[in-house]
Amino acid sequence: MFSAELLIAQNIGFFIIAAVMVVGALRVVTTSNVVHAALWLVVVLAGAAAQYILLAAEFVAVTQVLVYIGAVMVLFLFGTMLTRARIGAESDLNNKNWFVGLGVALALLVAMLIALRDGFGAEKLPADDPLVSTQTLSDQIFGPYLLPFWALSFVLLAAVIGAIVLARRD
Amino acid sequence: MLLNEFLFLGAILFCIGVYGVIVRKNAVLVLMSIELILNSVNINLLAFSLRNGSADGQTFALYVIAVAAAEVGIGLALVLLVYRNSRSISLDDLSEMKG
């Protein structure tokens, strides 16, 4: 009984956060102000971190906050600042044929929703299974997934060097 | 909670991101839409990680976050380079390769 009430609370939390995320995402792709788009993206990323906690992945949620909200958003705001002098609303951010994008997105959405409904139906997430701990996660990263981890460190190194080479004035 | 709640949320965010990639003309806004797409993928990975009770999905979600950070760094450096060369980051103005 108690766990059922807890799940109701989780469901209410899920739908509130999901509604905020969808509104924020729509504002990211429709707003006419680049800085506002970046700030709405913060809302979406924070909501995603909250959903990760609901999905019992607290380490990924903390990483999301540190990497996305901490680092990536600063990069976006710097990019906005360096590539335009004007901070404010602009009229020239969208393509002329926006209805093509709308049609593609809606068709994709309908196809995916139908496929997901047919594929998973009313399947429930396990509520009382042993959760994946951070220790398990680190055992995964430094055990069976060590080779991708190495490859990833080279990707990050290449990205850092590439960004320096590309953005350098000479 | 149902598995499909999270999968539907991921699908909706993915489609909003695809709409942004197609419709936006500003290169920085296109990169932001790509971030939306990557986050929807992460929600799916974590939902299936919880469903299967395995840590593989969380591991891959961490890798996706790292690759996304590298992608944003390179992408913004490219945008900066384009801006320096053509004084504009409108993707419609980059038509020098049109025959």
- For the segment A98-153, what is each residue's pLDDT rounded down to a tens digit? 889 999 999 999 999 999 999 888 888 887 666 788 898 999 899 999 999 999 99
Task: Tell me the percentage of chain A whose pLDDT exceeds 70.
Answer: 91
- When CB atoms are compared, the residue of A11, A80, A93 closest to B25 is A93
Is the pLDDT assigned to residue A4 strictly greater than 60?
no
Question: Would you say residue A114 lies in a domain?
Answer: no
Q: What is the pLDDT of residue A2?
A: 47
Between B89 and A79, where is the model more confident? A79
Question: In the beta sheet, which residues pair with residue B24?
Answer: A94
ipTM confidence score: 0.90
How many CB atoms sit inside 10 A of residue A85's CB? 6
Is the pLDDT assigned to residue A55 strictly greater than 60?
yes
Question: Are A140 and A64 within one domain?
Answer: no
Question: Are A2 and A84 within one domain?
Answer: yes
Please give the tally of structural domains in chain B. Answer: 1
Q: Which domain holds residue B64?
A: 3-86
Grade residue B60 by pLDDT with cuts at 50, 70 and 90: very high
User: Mean pLDDT, chain B, as a whole number?
Assistant: 89
Tell me B97's DSSP state.
T
Question: Are A84 and A161 within one domain?
Answer: no
Is the pLDDT assigned to residue B7 strictly greater than 50?
yes
Question: Would you say residue A105 lies in a domain?
Answer: no
Question: Would you say residue B80 lies in a domain?
Answer: yes
Q: What CATH number is given to the structural domain containing A2?
A: 1.20.120.1200
Q: What is the pLDDT of residue A1?
A: 38
Please give the tally of structural domains in chain A. Answer: 2
How many CB atoms sit inside 10 A of residue A4's CB? 8
Is the pLDDT assigned to residue A88 strictly greater than 70?
no
- When CB atoms are compared, the residue of B20, B49, B92 closest to A132 is B49
Q: What is the pLDDT of residue A82?
A: 84
Between B51 and A132, where is the model more confident? B51
Question: How many angstroms separate the CA atoms of B40 and B62, rounded?
Answer: 14
Q: What is the pLDDT of residue B93?
A: 76
Residue B74 contacts residue A157 (beta carbons within 8 Å):
no
Question: Would you say residue A110 lies in a domain?
Answer: no
Question: Are A70 and A2 within one domain?
Answer: yes
CB pairs under 8 A between A and B: 249
Is the pLDDT assigned to residue A28 strictly greater than 80?
yes
Region A15-38: mean pLDDT is 93
Question: How many angstroms separate the CA atoms of A167 and A130, rounded?
Answer: 47
CB distance A136–B55 less than 8 Å? Answer: yes
Q: Which domain holds residue A156?
A: 133-170
CA distance A112 to chain B (A): 7
User: Mean pLDDT, chain A, as a whole number?
Assistant: 87
